[in-house]
Amino acid sequence: MSPDGAARTPHQQSDELSLNTSAFPKGMPRWLSLEQIAKMQRCRRETVIDAMQRGELPFEQRGRIRYARLSDVIAWEERRLRPDYTPVRGNVHPSLEEFA
């Protein structure tokens, strides 16, 4: 529920939604490794790597291991599973049009 007591609907604008990670169990880590994300999301490791490389899932690399914040993983999952989500398309720089 929001501070004014009204329940939020799933179709509200993303800038209005704030992710409250305090509701998660205390034992849940704030940073998840690639393997933990794949296991938690029940998807292939390659799917997580692709999302990280495309910029859909922000991550930090420490040595060889990639980590993502729990809040970013949850937001990524919500975007993936939302049926009305359409990716934002931007303009392509003229020098890069041949690669698009």
Within-domain flag for 22: no
CB 76 within 8 A of CB 57: yes
Residue 1, pLDDT above cutoff 60: no
- Residue with tokens 């998660």, as numbered in its chain: 24
Q: Which tops the pLDDT comparison, 82 or 27?
A: 82
Residue 27 lies in a domain: no
The dihedrals phi and psi of 10, each to the nearest 5 degrees, come to: -70, -15
Span 75-94, pLDDT tens digits: 899 888 887 766 666 777 78
Q: How far is CA 2 from CA 7, 15, 59, in A?
A: 6, 14, 29
DSSP code of residue 68: E
Helix, strand or coil, per DSSP, at residue 65: strand
Look over the chain and give the mean of its residue pLDDT values, rounded to a whole number: 77
What is the number of structural domains in the chain?
1
Residue 86 is predicted with a pLDDT of: 66
Rounded Cα distance, 77 and 47, in Å: 12
User: For residue 39, what are the domain limits?
Assistant: 32-83
